[in-house]
Structure 1
Amino acid sequence: MSKNVFFVGLILAASGLLSPPFALVAGLIYGFSFVHPYHLDARRLSKLLLQVSVVGLGFGMDLQQVLRVGRSGFIYTAASISFAMLLGWGLGKLLSVKSRISFLISTGTAICGGSAIAAVAPISNATEEEIAVSLGTVFVLNSIALLAFPAIGIMLHMTQTQFGLWSALAIHDTSSVVGATAKFGVVALAVGTTVKLARALWIVPMSIGTSLVNKSKARIQWPWFILFFCLAAVANTYVHTFQAFYPNLKHLGVIGLTVTLFLIGTGLSKKTLREVGVRPMLQGVLLWIVVATGSLVLVRAGWIHL
């Protein structure tokens, strides 16, 4: 029965009948109700599908806007990453969280959630258990952010630019940033996606730094999908020969994102929460609250703007 329910949910997400937030909710309900028959396959597929979906969304972006937003958001991103890493280290020490788990949670919060954790975990010599705990912490908070952020943005009467910037700085995974901002508006989606991808580029220096500190020979994972996102924006802005196809490619990106969020939701379960434990989860929650609240105050006050 669990297989049938899984495929029904997958079909509903891919059909466009479910919005990204509802797809995540459907995935969460499944994850907490059934034993996932394709847990590992779903995790691998969601990672690949997210990257392809982001490229698809690039066909709806204007390159000049992408460059302007990316350039403006670079400084804020650098500052927020540095702050989150230092605060995460301090909280980890205070709560006596294992050093590698603390580092992975801090990196996931500071840069781009599960993608950053997956990139630096082999280089930091993290065990499977440590990776699972870190990913579980980030995924739980991602799910909360995707559902809570749009409601907070509406309640505070945030502009689309403000909401996009806040989401990019305060939500862990790219998928959840895109899902939250897509619900808020087109401008929010453009701002949030671009700043988030600029933030994701920090995977590279973080991986190199981690490799040097740990003297690791593990291969560094380069975020090539960001380059293809930019090329898609170039095509949408300057290559008008195939203009008729771009809206369809963008729509496929939205559908792919919806399926990605469903798959991510199915990966969360009671077992995941038990594996995470109290201390790592507390570190992740406290770190996220400070980052989210601090960036919200700064964005609302106009200290962070585009």
Structure 2
Amino acid sequence: MTTQTEDTLTLATASSNGTAAQASPFRLKLAGIGFTFAIALMGYGLYRLPGFDHVGQLASAIIIAVVYRQLWGYPESLRAGIQFSAKRLLRLAIILFGLKLNMDVIFHQGLGLLVRDAGTITFSILMTLLIAKLIKADQSLSLLLGIGTGVCGAAAVAAVSPILNAKEEDTALGVGIIALLGTVFAVGYTIIRPFVHLTGIQYGIWSGISLHEIAHVALAAAPAGQDALAIALLAKLGRVFLLIPLSFILMYWMKRKNNIQTGSKIDFPWFLIGFIVMSFLGSYVLGKSVVVPPNAMDGVSTLTTFILTMAMVGLGLNVSLNDLRTKALRPLAAMTVTSLLLSLLTWLSL
């Protein structure tokens, strides 16, 4: 596997230096896709190291992509393949992500938590935007961070970015910031758990309705026991479910905004239909009408994460550290304050 990775990077580097200038566009596109595959593989390897296992696979791959961009620049000859990963593979990953959403469990057991989940999403978005406005932070990036905080982290940012016509650089920054800050909060929850005076179930609900990513929820809730972990994941799945109506609300808002400002229209996010179809398929067909081995579903889940990692590499290559310093610090501050308030208010509500 190491040899394959080295061969792919060698081809990509040679192409970007112009030695493959005579190569066909198709071969260069394949080389670009292979380039994102190689860095995603490196990101997976970095994620397996102590310390980075808490940061996450997506953020680890983005870190490598950003470092590459700063040291060697953007590989222009591979742009078509990199953009294919950043856009097409991103949509494919979101569609496959729908298999992780068990709608049956939500409808039958989690309806009571949906009210709390809706409150979390509404508060996160509005508070992040309000703070961002007060401190004159970038509104586009702040909106992505608010949605990621309220819904389900990187997956939510990736899902709504095409709807909001967000810059690829903002998407990558949003994913990286949420992954890192969410990890800090998840670890913080495990540290303060003995001092918050909550039952295991209450602590699980608190984790599920306030933390950023599913992985962060699992990390924080697992030490409190299986019951706490189960209710935490159920609460988190409710927030993932609400990504569907939120996406259509954002699409309606963007249409009104564009019609008022320019008269233009936005493309319908067809990948969301795929997300919904896969959600129903995973909830009511696979494992019921159609028997699927558990290891097969685990394999699809792993593949989905890796495809999403390749997409994040494509996005990460667009990140400039100079822009990170000048553009991301204030949105990060807005998100941090929002996350702290969210944790406090949800804890007090239990």
* Paired residues of 1:77 and 1:199 also in contact (CA < 8 A): no
| Matching residue of 2:111 | 71
| Matching residue of 1:24 | 58
* Equivalent-residue separation in structure 2 for 1:7 and 1:282 (angstroms): 30
**Paired residues for 1:145-184 under 5 Å:** 145-157=181-193, 159-167=203-211, 171=212, 177-183=213-219
| Matching residue of 1:272 | 320
* Equivalent-residue separation in structure 1 for 2:319 and 2:44 (angstroms): 27
Query: Which residues of structure 1 form unaligned runs of 5+?
Result: 122-129, 172-176
* Equivalent-residue separation in structure 2 for 1:20 and 1:99 (angstroms): 28
Alpha-carbon distance, 1:50 to partner: 2.7
Q: Which amino acid aligns with 2:99?
A: G
**Cα distance change on mapping 1:55 and 1:213 into 2, 3 Å:** closer
* Equivalent-residue separation in structure 2 for 1:10 and 1:68 (angstroms): 38
| Matching residue of 2:26 | none
Alpha-carbon distance, 1:263 to partner: 4.5
**Paired residues for 1:28-107 under 5 Å:** 28-35=62-69, 37=75, 39-58=82-101, 61=102, 63-68=103-108, 71-97=111-137
| Matching residue of 1:120 | 164
> Could you report, residue by residue, the CA deviation over 1:185-217 in whole angstroms, capped at 9, with x for unpaired residues?
563444423322314421111221232233142
| Matching residue of 1:140 | 176
Q: Which amino acid aligns with 1:34?
A: Y
Q: Pick from 322, 325, 329: which aligns with 1:282?
A: 329
- Using the aligned pairs only, state the percent identity: 11
Alpha-carbon distance, 1:281 to partner: 2.0
| Matching residue of 1:232 | 282
| Matching residue of 2:245 | 201
* Equivalent-residue separation in structure 2 for 1:144 and 1:297 (angstroms): 20
**Cα distance change on mapping 1:6 and 1:136 into 2, 3 Å:** closer
Say which structure, 1 or 2, has more relative contact order (CA 8 Å, 6+ apart). Answer: 1
Computing the radius of gyration from Cα coordinates, the structure with the larger value is: 2
* Equivalent-residue separation in structure 2 for 1:7 and 1:114 (angstroms): 18
Q: Pick from 250, 257, 263: which aligns with 1:213?
A: 257
Query: Which residues of structure 2 form unaligned runs of 5+?
Result: 1-5, 11-34, 76-80, 194-199, 223-228
Q: Secondary structure at the match of 2:291?
A: helix
> Could you report, residue by residue, the CA deviation over 1:40-68 in whole angstroms, capped at 9, with x for unpaired residues?
2332255234324423324xx4x542224
* Equivalent-residue separation in structure 2 for 1:133 and 1:270 (angstroms): 5
Q: TM-score, normalised by structure 2?
A: 0.64
**RMSD after superposition:** 3.8
Q: Secondary structure at the match of 2:266?
A: coil
**Cα distance change on mapping 1:52 and 1:205 into 2, 3 Å:** closer
**Cα distance change on mapping 1:98 and 1:234 into 2, 3 Å:** same
* Equivalent-residue separation in structure 1 for 2:56 and 2:139 (angstroms): 36
| Matching residue of 2:345 | 298
* Equivalent-residue separation in structure 2 for 1:21 and 1:48 (angstroms): 23
Q: Which amino acid aligns with 1:24?
A: L
Alpha-carbon distance, 1:227 to partner: 4.1
Q: Which amino acid aligns with 1:298?
A: L
Matched, 1:192 2:236: yes
> Could you report, residue by residue, the CA deviation over 1:191-246 in whole angstroms, capped at 9, with x for unpaired residues?
42332231442111122123223314223325220342133112257x2x533435
* Equivalent-residue separation in structure 2 for 1:156 and 1:262 (angstroms): 35
Q: Which amino acid aligns with 2:214?
A: V
* Paired residues of 2:132 and 2:334 also in contact (CA < 8 A): no
* Equivalent-residue separation in structure 1 for 2:149 and 2:56 (angstroms): 23
* Paired residues of 2:164 and 2:251 also in contact (CA < 8 A): yes
* Equivalent-residue separation in structure 1 for 2:276 and 2:110 (angstroms): 12
| Matching residue of 2:23 | none
* Equivalent-residue separation in structure 2 for 1:9 and 1:230 (angstroms): 33
Q: Secondary structure at the match of 1:219?
A: coil
Give the length in aligned residue pairs.
280
* Paired residues of 1:27 and 1:263 also in contact (CA < 8 A): no
